[in-house]
Structure 1
């Protein structure tokens, strides 16, 4: 019989933190538990997430080197911690888990003060600032990658490799075959730069496709996410090259488009990499150079080492280099299907359920030993990406 428990999920107001938290909330509620969300104003405004979940917006200061800003941040954090403690007195959570971002800090500090079991989940391959700050005090650290930078060796005993939760629509792609690609068939390319698009992709990708051999260009069909100010320019370039292109600032059906794509060009955010590996889609990734601690470069390291993706640093991301990498992947027999299979092997499809198991164990029974870094791989699909 399921014992109903209460859990608090704390996440900063960006999609990278909120989407994994949303997936966990849905899983916990499916198991009969009650969930509350702690976030900031940005997180509370993200549409389509945490429907039916009680949401609490707490003050959370951003830590900086400025003495004046640091004092203001400390006051906000302490106020947020006090509000969190009052919430816990009425909600009585079994455990509190933070997903990174400064809004998670007061919620976790409040839980530590109240003696409530705690965990953090790190989506990236570099431990984030808030998670680093609390790593020594929480009961469990869930990671998305086997090798996480800036995670101290002394914390190894509390680390659990679970992966990054992804949307159900993406999970459904895991059992689907890699789209068949005939010698003269349509080659479908998906280009996405995250929720706001990426100007660098809009600047480089169209020119790169123009450098491809004519017979390859004639097979291309492009779906590309662009910033609003880039769409007309990008559309004109594709028209000049005679390449059919569907451009939009937002792709609500992104999982469907991912399903029939032969190649993806994207940034290397944690959610993007997780979805590509779960679905098993080869990719050329361009890490965002301004990402904190260069974490996007490390996010893609596992997939690159496995042979499922190629990574091009932004300062080397030119039309010539991209065209060269695309031809190596797309025009050599079997290269795409092989890359898709290797990408699929990097996926961790049980991330959401493993994370829920971990959280259920806190404060109830000893923390469960989940997927170790050296194992836990599912069966390998055949050469076309279908499950063997």
Structure 2
């Protein structure tokens, strides 16, 4: 007999955290459950929450390396924890799921205080800071890659490889064939720098396109996402090189454009990699060098090793190098088609279903909650809650 349960999802206010949280929220609601979301001011502005879902904004306190901010950060965390406790006492969640980001930390602390089962989901190939703090006390760790850095061996028994949930429109692309690419046909290239854009792509990509052999350059059709400050300069460059290009600061129909793209040039955020591998699209990836723990450089490894992508570190990302890599992929017989097939093999299209199954298995129904809480408390690592509290003050 199944019960309608309540679940709280806690995520930082970036697309990388919010996209999988929204995907899980939608799936849980489809299964008959109720969902509440905890995030910060940025996350509240990102659309995608289910219509009947609650959204709660909590203070996102940070404990950085600078001691001057420790007191302020600790106060914000404690305030957020207190607000989460109030929510849990009325909403009565069966489980709390953290997706990383600072707003998730007080939400997980509050759940720990009330012995509510907890799960964390890691989108990147490196366990994030908040998820590292929470790993000791959670019941399960859901991952997007088979190999995760910064994960302590003693926590590996909690790990469940589920993948990174993506939008339904992207999953639908998996059933569509790679777009035909003939010797004389249009060569469609999609360039995207993630939710914030990437100036380095605006500076390098147009000049790289101009360096391609004439017979390839004449076939180009480019769609590029640019930052608002860069877009006019990029437009002038493409016009100067006589290359057809559609530019925008935001691409609301990105899944559709991904569907007809023969090659994608992009950053290596977790959501981008998940969409590329789910859809099965070859890519040239430029990891963001200042990403926390350099996680984007590790995000690309599985896809590159499989043959679905090429990665260029930003210091080596020049117009000449990009043009060379594009020619290797575009001019080799069947190279792009093969890369698309290899990229697809890395995809995990069932990620949202697998994650929802995991959440339901750990979440408790109101009628069984007292017994389950007792079992989950025993399952926690010795000193888990105390250790988590110590980590938060470190």
Structure of higher RCO (CA pairs closer than 8 Å, 6+ residues apart): 2
For the structure 1 residues 363 and 27, does the alpha-carbon distance in structure 2 shift closer, same or farther, using more than 3 Å as the test? closer
Q: Secondary structure at the match of 1:221?
A: strand
Partner of 1:284, secondary structure, is strand
Which residues of 2 match residues 51-90 of structure 1 at below 5 A?
A: 51-90=51-90
Query: Partners of 2:347 and 2:46 in 1: how far apart?
Result: 26
In structure 1, distance between residues paired with 2:68 and 2:242? 56
1:103 maps to 103
Equivalent position of 1:268 in the other structure? 268
Q: Tell whether 2:280 aligns with 1:280.
A: yes
Which residues of 2 match residues 1-388 of structure 1 at below 5 A?
2-364=2-364
**Runs of at least 5 residues in structure 1 that lack an aligned partner in the other structure:** 368-388
Q: CA–CA distance in 1 between the matches of 2:79 and 2:227?
A: 38
> Retained in 1: the 8 A contact 2:178–2:340?
yes
User: Equivalents in 2 of 1:294, 1:51: separation in Å?
Assistant: 36
Q: Once the 2 structures are TM-superposed, how far is the Cα of residue 179 of structure 1 from its aligned partner?
A: 0.2
CA distance in 2, matches of 1:93, 1:324: 53
Cα displacement string for residues 122-178 of structure 1 (whole angstroms, at most 9, x for unaligned residues) = 000000000000101100000000000000111111000000000011011001000
Question: CA separation in 1, counterparts of 2:166 and 2:182?
Answer: 30
Alpha-carbon shift at residue 243 of structure 1 (Å): 1.0
Q: Secondary structure at the match of 2:174?
A: helix
Aligned partner of 1:371 in structure 2 is none
Distance 2:278 2:9 in 1: 24
Residue pair 1:6, 1:92 contacting (<8 A) in 2 also: yes
- 1:2 touches 1:32 (CA, 8 Å); kept in 2? no
Give the Cα–Cα distance (whole angstroms) in 2 for the partners of residues 86 and 205 of structure 1. Answer: 50
CA drift of 1:103 comes to: 0.3
Q: Deviations over 1:8-37 (max 9, x none)?
A: 000011111011000000000000000000
Moved more, 58-67 or 252-261: 58-67
CA 363–236 in structure 1, closer or farther in 2 if over 3 Å, else same: closer
Q: Which digits, 9 at most, give the CA deviation of each residue in 1:245-297, with x for residues without a partner?
A: 00000000000000000000000000000000000000000000000000000
SS where residue 228 of structure 1 aligns?
Answer: coil
Report how far residue 114 of structure 1 moved.
0.4
For the 8 Å contact 2:171–2:278, the answer to whether it is kept is yes
Q: Does the Cα contact within 8 Å between 2:308 and 2:343 map onto a contact in 1?
A: yes
Deviations 1:351-372 (A, max 9, x none): 00000000001144899xxxxx
Q: What is the Cα-based RMSD across aligned positions, in Å? A: 1.2
Secondary structure of the 2:246 match is: strand
Contiguous gaps of at least 5 residues in structure 2: 365-371, 377-394
Tell me how far apart the structure 2 counterparts of residues 313 and 160 of structure 1 sit (CA, whole Å).
30
Residue of structure 1 equivalent to 2:381 = none
SS at match of 1:160: strand
Q: TM-score, normalised by structure 1?
A: 0.93
Farther off after superposition, 224-233 or 213-222: 224-233
Please identify runs of 4+ aligned residues in structure 1 that moved more than 6 A: none
1:60 positional shift: 2.3
Please give the secondary structure, in 1, of the residue aligned with 2:147: coil
Cα separation, 1, equivalents of 2:301 and 2:322: 18
| Number of residue pairs aligned between Structure 1 and Structure 2 | 367
Kindly indicate whether the alpha-carbon contact (under 8 Å) linking 2:22 and 2:48 is maintained by their aligned counterparts in 1: no
Cα deviation, residue 49, structure 1: 3.4
SS in 2 for 1:165: coil
> Normalising by structure 2, what TM-score?
0.91
Inter-partner Cα distance in structure 1 for 2:196 and 2:288? 13
